[in-house]
Structure 1
Amino acid sequence: MVLDTGKNYSDPSQAAEAHGVRFISLLKISTDAGITGWSDIETQPHVGKSIVDAPSGGQIGFESLRAALLGEDPLERERLWQKMYRYLAYYGRQGAGMQMISGADIALWDIAGKALGQPICKLLGACYRDRVKAYASTLFRPTPDAMKAAVAEYLKHGFRAIKFGWGVFGRDLDLDIALVRAAREEAGPDIDLMVDGGWYGIAYADPFRPRPLRDWIRLVKALEELNVFWLEDFLHPDNYAGYAAVSEHTTTLRLAAGEQLAGYEAFERLAIEGRVDTLQPDLSRCGGITVGKQIADLVARRQINCVPHAWLTDLLKAASLHLNAYLMDSLYLEYNVSSASLLNHLCEESIPMVDGTVPVPTGPGLGVTVNERIVEQYRVL
């Protein structure tokens, strides 16, 4: 189903909080036992709906998500993941196809937790923590003064970590450094600061945002002087060699990436070939919680980190908290601070932040309940 949030993405020249996505994609799976599972999916939802409802193409590989799941036992999550992957094989191994598989996988984990009366982290096999440090995930403001004002506001709300991304960042090296320096001056030395470079532009007039590797290497040195914790997603997602080249010039600064990748193999390449320190699977894009668990096991073996990308509603926030609970070493939960109230109030129970941390839900499944009255109010498809 598709929900309309009513606004487009913010103008990067304005000192404004991001509104959020224009449309939300929600997936609901119902069982004959009366148990339902939910997921939100960060994809173009009109495309996603067509993947759910597509008519049969006449053979395996050209089928719909609905055809893959109807009549199946929802507790056989691994078999159903493999079945969905094969039913959508010719068009779904990456992109929107994999994203809808991811959403279905999350919903199946939600169903399993509800059926067994356990939170998802228990089904994963480990709950190392009951709270996760949150970072405010927001846009770069266009001036140093606006950056300082934004930092002051997040500190007032209790955040101890802030990530600025996209917006005006990535076109003017001197301005980039000035904006980050202003944030550090306002935050002081004890607040974690992260930077999300963004690998493409957000202005329709110029969607490219190119920057040579040598300029990123120059920026890395400045970010280390400003004690930035990580630089995120600043190259094309498949440029593993580029990430490795920049990594050679880091000492304290971590490189983070992966929100637009799918499948375990891509994350293994990012860790080994790209030498990325922090993998960032979006559970609604990478293959769901099933693949997220594989990535969590990978980072444990390689002694690097995993911080799920989670910039959507409390459904994705809850799923990411369960993966954070399973991680042997957890750094952060990405906390969506966008102004779109629908993103933050889709569920009956909000997931609160207290003293800079967010609790892992303890209820069965995801541990949050979708407010279906809101769904019907904003539903367009």
Structure 2
Amino acid sequence: MKITEVSAVYPKWKRLPVGVWQSHFWQIVVRVKADNGVVGYGYGGGGEPACLVVNQHFRELVVGNEIETADDIRVLWDRVYALSLPYGRKGLPVMALSGLDLALWDLLGKARGRPVYDLLGGLCKPKVRGYATGGKLEQYRDMGYTAVKFPPGKSASEADVRYTVDMARQARSIFGDDALIMTDPYMAWDFDTTKLMADALREFNLYWFEDVTTPDYLEEQAALREIIHPINLAGGEHEFTRFGFTQIARAGALDIWQPDVAWCGGITETLRILDIAREHNVPVVPHRGGEIWGLHIIAATDCEDLAETHPERWEDSADELWLDEPQAVDGYLTPLDRPGFGVVLNEAML
């Protein structure tokens, strides 16, 4: 089938507080159409600027290409990436390319009448264990979750350390000894704060610390791995392509990799990142893995049996961009068996 149309749009998201980057650079929807009438949709990052990248550059590179196999998508990915290098090997251009790649996988699945996980080799995991991100611990337990990631204090102040210890104590008490407990300061800690928090939280047996610093500090993260052990150091949501994860591997910077499928380069590049992870014996838990894009790749590969969810999202149906997206049942998610990624786009939000 030949690609005849490529376009991207920035959905009408709910109003967010002034200064929040998601107000301007959040997720875009990429649409590709083939000459057989099949339409594929993908999800990328970068907001309106990423839409310009897709609509003014990627479109020229993609329209007219034949897509019949996954290899065709990989070849096209490499060409688009190479021709966008002058304006960025990471960040916004790769986020835009992620949306394009996912749309092509959705298109191929729909054209073949098969779910994306089938194109990846079939289900390894008929259902995937979810973990809840947020602070409503008792609610998550009552929903059936056995894994949770809570927000910690953001500094080394006595108040923030005390708050973080209290949250960890509550989580362990509510979920029990066998649950996975994680925390994510979202790059707010530094080297010393991470050490301090690790010491303060030892008794609660946390599974990982996520994104303790910005991804630039690879040597520091490698040193922290040894210091905070047996707590794992996780990260990678703000790293891009296999080339970025190769640098993480060489530095020995992380115990657990968390590529974001809708940011790091799509399905195509996540598969390549998984190849590198296998070579270095590093487990992979995709960021936002409970969303359909990550869920298909978790279910069909040797990614860890763990997918991030945000239960509060399901409380506000006004922001439901993808209709029929799987929700956790008793703490587990099941990928849809419909063609492509299996969801329907809510056109009212475009």
**Structure 2 unaligned residues grouped into runs of 5+:** 1-8
Report the alpha carbon displacement of residue 40 of structure 1 after superposing the two structures with TM: 1.8
Label 1:227 to 1:8 Cα distance change in 2 as closer, same or farther (>3 A). same
- The match for 2:240 is 262
Q: Contact conserved, 1:271 with 1:277, CA < 8 A, in 2?
A: no
Q: Is 1:92 aligned to residue 88 of structure 2?
A: yes
CA distance in 2, matches of 1:171, 1:74: 52
Report the alpha carbon displacement of residue 344 of structure 1 after superposing the two structures with TM: 6.5
- The match for 2:43 is 40
- The match for 1:25 is 28
Within 5 A, what are the aligned runs for 1:71-150? 71-75=64-68, 76-138=72-134, 150=136
Match of 2:323, SS state, is: coil
**Structure 1 unaligned residues grouped into runs of 5+:** 13-19, 55-63, 139-146, 200-208
CA distance in 1, matches of 2:203, 2:19: 30
CA distance in 1, matches of 2:255, 2:318: 29
Q: Is 1:161 aligned to residue 147 of structure 2?
A: yes
Aligned letter for 1:280?
Answer: Q
Identity of aligned residues (%): 27
CA distance in 2, matches of 1:275, 1:343: 40
- The match for 1:206 is none
Label 1:331 to 1:242 Cα distance change in 2 as closer, same or farther (>3 A). farther
Within 5 A, what are the aligned runs for 1:215-230? 215-230=193-208
Label 1:325 to 1:282 Cα distance change in 2 as closer, same or farther (>3 A). same
Report the alpha carbon displacement of residue 193 of structure 1 after superposing the two structures with TM: 1.2
- The match for 2:309 is 335
CA distance in 2, matches of 1:237, 1:280: 12
Residues matched between the structures, number: 333
Q: Contact conserved, 1:85 with 1:92, CA < 8 A, in 2?
A: no
Label 1:7 to 1:126 Cα distance change in 2 as closer, same or farther (>3 A). same
- The match for 1:197 is 185
The structure where helix makes up a greater share of residues is: 2
Aligned letter for 1:101?
Answer: L
Q: Is 1:247 aligned to residue 259 of structure 2?
A: no
Aligned letter for 1:286?
Answer: C
Report the alpha carbon displacement of residue 184 of structure 1 after superposing the two structures with TM: 2.3
Report the alpha carbon displacement of residue 86 of structure 1 after superposing the two structures with TM: 2.2
CA distance in 1, matches of 2:33, 2:201: 48
CA distance in 2, matches of 1:11, 1:183: 31
CA distance in 1, matches of 2:202, 2:280: 23
Label 1:329 to 1:53 Cα distance change in 2 as closer, same or farther (>3 A). closer
- The match for 1:280 is 258
Q: Contact conserved, 1:229 with 1:254, CA < 8 A, in 2?
A: yes
Report the alpha carbon displacement of residue 10 of structure 1 after superposing the two structures with TM: 10
Q: Contact conserved, 2:43 with 2:103, CA < 8 A, in 1?
A: no
TM-score (norm 1): 0.80
Which residue of the other structure, out of 162, 186, 191, is the alignment partner of 1:174? 162
- The match for 2:5 is none
CA distance in 2, matches of 1:188, 1:152: 12
Q: CA RMSD in A?
A: 2.5
Greater shift in the superposed pair: 26-35 or 298-307:
298-307
Q: Contact conserved, 1:2 with 1:25, CA < 8 A, in 2?
A: yes
Report the alpha carbon displacement of residue 30 of structure 1 after superposing the two structures with TM: 1.2
